[in-house]
Structure 1
């Protein structure tokens, strides 16, 4: 039966079979009005019937789903890490739902999406929001629209226009300017860190630079996974065999285990898996092993790196209280928490502490280590055939530790008379930053 055409006032309406039946057995029809002539209405109806016959039809009731509802239905269907959960919620509440919430999923057009994208990027140029955050917003919205087509059949095509090379005004991608990571710069950072944070700060800087660990992996590093104790202290149980083979492989090697990162989950400090499930073992150079041994001997906390209060670093204002004085310097302080003036390190002005991790990879590449060993140490995976055939051997790992040790010893020889802090140094406690200490044993951690 062809589409049924009828006039309503001065506009034409078309009805077509939707491919479904009502409870009474009669065919269910859908309709669309607003056409100026019968030919256009009939062509529209024929197109819809074609889609019904070929299984590509989008039901009108689905396409009319409001974005205010779809945003959260989509969000609830995702399997996300804690950090992504917080980020996605914030983006939906602040950017996507207020702008698109009143619109039906199927009514959003490509022109509207392009206008929205342009307005967001203009806001970034005005400094109202970072360019990187704008790309996160657009990425999330694009994923929602893609899924509305491929997974949930709410639209025929996505309204998000993917940018192609050679289209529009060329804009060179802005990358963060970085200097080569120099030992002299790290040394000044470490000396400043000692003034701010005692022997913990001194060790923290060298650990970041010589392991390439992510900051929150360092925050979640526990005593039982550090080189003075691991692998003998590994709390391996019958439900977790992921690292069982490592117990023999790293026996006798100074190595630490990247098993967790420390993050907020529903308002609670929680140990979660590392980013991208990048569990890994890092063989450390002997000098760093000695620092870790000395630091752990100075306290009995479960955490390798403690805050001023003696608790975990998660929950502190790390950027303001620790990193900025270390990087940018600080005037002298009087009174109970007196300390000398801390000089700035100009090479690191306004830079992220994450660049210590970037610098670690520079060193590994500079020393000519195999790519598979470098990427594994950084917690990355190599794709394709190269990743299938590649394998990291203990010899590769030991050579990395040897070149890192050589880099340290070469610096001490060339600089001469390098000041080294007393070992161990008591941790300065600043009561104004005191927070409740999280007390959990390594063998009974709440891991999500």
Structure 2
């Protein structure tokens, strides 16, 4: 039972918090650890002894029903909690780095000196409204806003469910409450072959035949850029795979279905990422290892590309090494946005590169979206599309469906037909015949 102490004008109540004192070796003794409070809220004293006693009864009720949050735990500062929470996450280095960046940038500076158990819904809503104002003023992207609020929600949910630092989360999600705000989505246009051709042409002038092949590969396979594209090694490219697959069991099964003389295919086995500051090969996102059949024209393009260099990577950087983060600074901006005439290496004058208006300021990831649009336009089954994109179909549909060779053959045929129809439309530029001719 709780007991009340009256000292001068102060009223304090003590109750057993369900824990015992520890001895020097860290073992629990029979001596109970009591908690106390001088008011229902910090800075608010009890009005009388009855209020204090009832407050103690409520706390002991929480202890008996497993809902008690020790006051010391609830007073954990957010800066300490964020550090402990991040250390406990079992994620890839890239995900940890993104979380750490968001915590340092916006969450710890604002909440760091607040106790986890003291954060209220009012305070959270005020913080969220400030972030929204930054979005409205163009100081923050909508995507980053959603990342921050989503991460804060995870922190508070874990504080309640996993770490027992508070009774409930201050993040309350209600539907259709308050002023309606339509969700802002990225403006996308259907991917046209003319646009992809313009990007590939610019990529050739920036990056050579590797760039030309890179853009067509992305548009006709839907691989995830940049990780899966940069992580593609030559032993997993269609001219060599599956005969060159280092895994004997996978190679044996694949040889009956794929190959240059059967169905040319790319094996998405890795993606390239930085871990602890070093570039390394890891599993694709969601462990979505998969085989992508490709149309004949793309197989011929890859054959010419691999014959033009001896790099272990299908798409090496200009210097021959694996592509790094320089892509976003020295490649893609000029491919989509163009570049004036300027001097290049060895006093060579690089001709002016025209911008591609439909892609100026856009992400290259939209080409992956465009590939999915093409598959839908051509009427392929959902299981074939989702498997190709590296997604899983949930429920009974995913359990009973399967990607068959006939489905894959139709995908390759429809993509080849799209390619041939484009070249029949007119005379389009293509790299010198010494490299490759699409005709």
Given the alignment of the two structures, is residue 76 of structure 1 paired with residue 81 of structure 2, yes or no?
A: no
- TM-fit CA distance, 1:334: 3.3
Go from structure 1 to structure 2 and tell me whether the alpha carbon gap of 1:276 and 1:244 turns closer, same or farther (over 3 Å shift).
farther
CA distance in 1, matches of 2:76, 2:86: 15
Name the structure, 1 or 2, with higher relative contact order (CA <8 Å, separation 6+).
1
Change (3 A) 1:410 1:15: same
**1:201 aligned to 2:211?**
yes
Q: Normalising to structure 1: TM-score of the pair?
A: 0.89
**Gapped regions of structure 1 (runs ≥ 5):** 427-448
CA offset digits 1:365-398 (Å, max 9, x no partner): 0100000110110111111221112211111111
Q: 1:249 aligns with which of 240, 257, 272?
A: 257
Q: Is 2:337 aligned against 1:328?
A: yes
Partner SS, residue 30 of structure 2:
coil
Show the 5 A alignment for 1:35-54.
35-54=46-65
Question: Which digits, 9 at most, give the CA deviation of each residue in 1:198-239, with x for residues without a partner?
Answer: 1111111100100001112111111011000011101116xx
1:183 aligned onto 2:193: yes
Q: Which of 280, 283, 296 is the aligned partner of 1:273?
A: 283
1:28 maps to 33
The 2-side partners of 1:79 and 1:236 are apart by: 28
For structure 2, which runs of at least 5 residues remain unmatched after alignment?
Answer: 23-28, 39-44
Pairwise CA distance, 1:284: 0.3
Map of 2:4 onto structure 1: 5
Equivalent position to 2:364, from 353, 357, 361? 353
Instruction: Please name the residue that 1:143 is paired with.
Output: 154
Question: Given the superposition, is the C-alpha separation of residues 412 and 73 from structure 1 closer, same or farther in structure 2, using an over 3 Å criterion?
Answer: same
SS at match of 1:21: strand
Paired position in structure 1 for 2:137: 126
Is contact 2:263–2:293 with CA below 8 Å preserved after alignment?
A: yes
Give the 3-state SS of the residue equivalent to 2:304 in structure 1: helix
The 10-residue stretch of structure 1 (353-362 or 320-329) with the greater mean CA deviation from structure 2: 320-329
Contact preservation (8 Å) 1:190, 1:203: yes
Q: Which residue of structure 1 lines up, in the alignment, with residue 42 of structure 2?
A: none
SS in 2 for 1:281: strand
Correspondences of 1:91-102 after superposition (within 5 Å): 91-102=102-113
RMSD in angstroms over aligned alpha carbons? 1.8
Secondary structure at the aligned position of 1:35 is classed as coil
1:405 aligns with 2:413: no
The change in CA–CA distance for 1:88 and 1:176 in structure 2 (over 3 A counts) is same
Q: Which residue of 2 aligns with 1:234?
A: 245
State how far apart, in whole Å, the 2-side matches of 1:157 and 1:385 are. 35
Moved more, 21-30 or 264-273: 21-30
Helix, strand or coil for the counterpart of 1:7? strand
- Which secondary structure state, in structure 1, belongs to the residue aligned with residue 425 of structure 2? helix
Q: Which residue of 2 aligns with 1:443?
A: none
CA distance in 2, matches of 1:78, 1:245: 37
User: Do the aligned partners of residues 82 and 423 (structure 1) sit closer, same or farther apart at CA in structure 2, a change above 3 Å counting?
Assistant: farther
1:392 corresponds to 2:403: yes
Residue 41 of structure 2 corresponds to which residue in structure 1?
none
Offset of residue 22 of structure 1: 3.5
Q: What residue is the counterpart of 2:13 in the other structure?
A: 14
Aligned-residue offset at 1:244: 6.4
Question: More displaced, 48-57 or 289-298?
Answer: 48-57
CA contact (8 A) 1:198 1:425 kept: no
Contact 2:131 2:145 in 1 (8 A): yes
Q: Which residue of 2 aligns with 1:301?
A: 311
The 1:424–1:268 alpha-carbon spacing in structure 2 relative to 1, beyond 3 Å, is farther
Contact 1:108–1:159 (CA under 8 A) maintained in structure 2: yes
Kindly report which structure 2 residues correspond to 1:400-439, keeping only aligned pairs within 5 A, or say none: 400-415=411-426, 417-423=427-433, 425=435
Q: In 2, distance between residues paired with 1:123 and 1:266? A: 32
Q: Distance in 1 between matches of 2:103 and 2:255?
A: 44
Displacement, 1:39? 2.8
